[in-house]
Amino acid sequence: MKEIIVLAEHRRGELRDVTWEMLSKGRQLAESMGAEIGVALLGKGVGQIAEALKPKAHRVLLIEDDRLENYNSETYEKVLTQLITERKPLLTLIGHTAMGMDFAPGLAAHLKMPLATDCIGMDAAGEALSLTRQLYGGKVNATVSFLKKGPYMVTVRSGAFPVIEKEALPGEWVKIPSPLTDEGLAKRFLQYVEAAVGEVDITQADILVSIGRGIKEAENIPMIKEFADAIGGTLSCSRPVVDKKWLPKDRQVGTSGKTVKPKVYIAIGISGAFQHIAGMKGAGTVIAINKDPKAPIFSAAQYGIVADLFKIVPVLKDKVKGLRGK
């Protein structure tokens, strides 16, 4: 029986969305490749999670072990090496996430298995795969193929594939004994550290005025703050602004920051990397200001202004102040 295996990603008792996305896309690929779909779940006491996965796969490959309570690349590599070696799936799908990025490349190299990372498109022709991934921070897309024979491994970008509801699959239980022993690990999980709580909660704001790399210097931020104050908005930002320590991490919108849903989101000098868009796509209305008419942010906005932010924002601020003052 031919099989595609999706690795379920979960953290602290909750499945992560990329799992459903991979199962949905994996099922479609399995149908065109004449294969079935299995979902691998590694953990400790993950029965409830396994239950939720059942209707999405032909089988749930369950590996439970106390040593799998928290993700660790070393334990995951050992368990998945055994699973993949025994089951020989045509294709293994893993999220291109903080977890997948930490172990999938090592696992593929260990198994001498061709790997394509961060894919946003997958098409099957027989057992051959054609993949789409992005280069230059999303400015161009590339079609990529494998040069060697499968089985293959692909890491999948979060949010790249929609979840399509279909009739339930049998979800047969397959309990697999864990290969882990008490042998010491060279990498030991210690703890989680929560994000620091800041003075402002940007997830509660009705209007967010968000700045990106285009702001150029920290000295330019007060000008934006004045505009935000004039419209009763809260200041937020994309990653480069936090990396440069111009604003604290709790102001960051995006995958590694916060997911926000304001009524209005004004993106100023933000090009629109997918990690940023993932954090603000729930906004009611998006207004984007950018000098590059090809900036991806315009695809995620309802209103766009192609302009130099240093010229347009002061005019916006004066206009709002003038009109609100009346």
Ranges within 36-75 binding another protein (CB under 8 A): 70-74
CA distance 162 to 281: 14
- Choice from 188, 199, 222, 325 touching another protein (CB under 8 A): 188
User: What's the rounded Cα separation, in Å, for the pair 188 and 61?
Assistant: 25
Rounded least distance, CB 7 to another protein, Å:
16
For 306, list phi and psi in degrees, rounded to 5.
-90, 105
CB of 11 to another protein, least distance (A): 7
The least distance separating another protein from the CB of residue 181, rounded to whole angstroms, comes to 17
Minimum CB distance to another protein smaller for 176 or for 248:
248
Please give the residues from 125 up to 184 whose contact with another protein meets the rule CB under 8 A: 130, 133-148
Q: Which residues within the stretch 219-238 sit at the binding site for another protein (CB under 8 A)?
A: 231-232
Q: How many residues bind another protein (CB under 8 A)?
A: 103
When the beta carbons of 179 and 304 are compared against another protein, the nearer one is 304
Give the number of other CB atoms < 10 A from CB of residue 262. 25
Contact 230, 320 (CB under 8 A): yes
Region for 57 from its dihedrals, namely left if φ exceeds 0, alpha if ψ lies in -120 to 50, beta otherwise: beta
Which range, of 19-27, 48-56, 166-174, 315-323, touches another protein by CB under 8 A? Answer: 315-323
Mapping DSSP to helix (H, G, I), strand (E, B) and coil, where does residue 299 land? helix
Give the binding range for another protein (CB under 8 A) out of 45-53, 161-169, 218-226, 316-324: 316-324
Using the minimum distance from each CB to another protein, give the nearer residue, 171 or 296: 296
Which is nearest to 253 in space by CA: 277, 279, 235, 275? 279
Tokens 């809260």 belong to 234
Q: What is the 3-state secondary structure (H, E, C) of 91-124?
A: EEEEECCCCHHHHHHHHHHHHCCCEEEEEEEEEE
Whether 246 contacts 221, CB under 8 Å? yes
Q: How far is the CB of 175 from another protein (least distance, A)?
A: 27
Min CB(147)–another protein separation in Å:
5
Name the one range near another protein by CB under 8 A: 31-39, 83-91, 217-225, 312-320.
Answer: 312-320
Per-residue mark of binding to another protein, 201-220 (x: CB under 8 A)? -----xx-----xx------
Name which of 1 and 147 has its Cβ closer to another protein. 147
Q: Is 324 in the site for another protein (CB under 8 A)?
A: yes
Those residues with Cβ within 8 angstroms of residue 241's Cβ, 6 or more apart along the chain or in another chain:
211, 212, 213, 215, 247, 251, 252
**Burial 116-154, CB ≥16 within 10 A → b, else e:** bbbbbbbebeeeebebbbbeeeeeeeeebeeeeebbbbb
Which residue lies nearer to another protein by CB, 176 or 185? 185
- By DSSP bridging, strand 10-11 and strand 264-268 are unpaired
C-alpha span between 306 and 289 (Å, rounded) = 6
Shortest CB 226 distance to another protein, Å: 14
* Residues in 82-121 that interact with another protein by CB under 8 A: 96-99, 101-106, 108-110, 114-118
Range 244-273, binding another protein (CB under 8 A): 244-245, 249-250, 252, 255-259, 263-264, 271
